[in-house]
Amino acid sequence: MATGKPPERGLMERRLVLMYHGIRPLSGGGFLEQALVVEPHAFAAQIGRLAAAGYRSLRVDDYAGGRWREGFGRGVLLTFDDAYEGLEEYVSPVLRHFGYTAVVFAPVAHLGGFNTWDARNRALSRLRIVDRDGLRALADGPWEVASHGFRHVDLRQLDRPTRLGELVMSREAIAEIVGSAPRALAYPFGHADKAVRADAVAAGFEIAFVATPYATGDPLRMPRRAINNLDRALLFDIRMSPRPWLFRMEDAARMIPRGYRRLRRIGQAALRREPRGEIG
């Protein structure tokens, strides 16, 4: 795979959890689509850069059990929210090429359907989610299957019996499909308060992930670094840095619309200059 100049190892975090959503060709959905969908050639180049920097693939058990801490070297846990179609076609070959594995967080009630929670964005609302057979096929490959809730709703907005039911049903449904109940959860929309975390434990989850990169030391608020379609070459390497300062800059810029629009223009300009890499 052509990745350009190898990344500097000293500038990259030793243990990483990356958060992806869809991997597929773009369909004209604008900046929001590029935030959630990464083009296949860009994804392959990103994983190539991780491999070139010496990252080995982690599984949920490795991450939760801390086996990466001693003698493992650099480790990365790749996670994919929403279980969109295209994972087997575009992601599995890349994983196999580099000897990596990944975790897919599935919103069980939507299997075989579409993204209904981003209905205002035409491109995102047309993203199809794998069906039960597709999820089972992923589990037979280089994938672990975990929970993204049952209906993909903000769990903070539900009363406790409903919320606990959502979490329990998601574990039971995944166990029925793939043969084992997941120990990991990614909160829908990336948010969880104290009550949500308590119900995650009550439902049987041992580890849960948010959608922000800031470490807390809480196994029910494990950080992830969101990767988007504009993260190419050096920008991707910067996202791997030990201190997630780029994410903090973006969070601050979102509070100032003009600043965030400028960041978007810079990203779009970098994208136009990026050469395409391929597996090989």
Measured distance between the N- and C-terminal CA atoms of the chain, rounded to whole angstroms: 5
Q: Is residue 280 part of a domain?
A: no
Residue 8 lies inside a defined structural domain of this protein: no
Q: Is residue 3 part of a domain?
A: no
- What's the pLDDT tens digit per position in 205-236? 999 999 999 988 899 999 999 999 999 999 99
User: What are the φ/ψ torsions at residue 119 (nearest 5 degrees)?
Assistant: -60, -25
Looking at 9-23, 78-92, 227-241, which range is the least confident one?
Answer: 9-23
Tell me: pLDDT of 4 over 90. Answer: no
Which tokens hold the place of 46? 């990103």
Question: What would the pLDDT profile of 148-200 be if each residue is shown by its tens digit?
Answer: 999 999 999 999 999 999 999 999 999 999 999 999 999 999 999 999 999 99
Residue 168 falls inside a structural domain:
yes
Between CA 91 and CA 93 the distance in angstroms is 6
Give residue 28's pLDDT: 84
Q: Is residue 6 part of a domain?
A: no
pLDDT at 68: 57
For the domain that residue 266 is a member of, what is the CATH number?
3.20.20.370
Q: Is the pLDDT of residue 257 over 70?
A: no
Determine, yes or no, domain membership for 127.
yes
Would 152 be classed as within a structural domain? Answer: yes
- Who contacts 16 (Cβ-Cβ below 8 Å, separation ≥6)? 50, 55, 74, 75, 76, 77, 225, 240
Domain total in the chain: 1
Residue 106 structural domain: 13-273
- Is 5 inside any structural domain? no
What pLDDT is recorded for position 280?
33
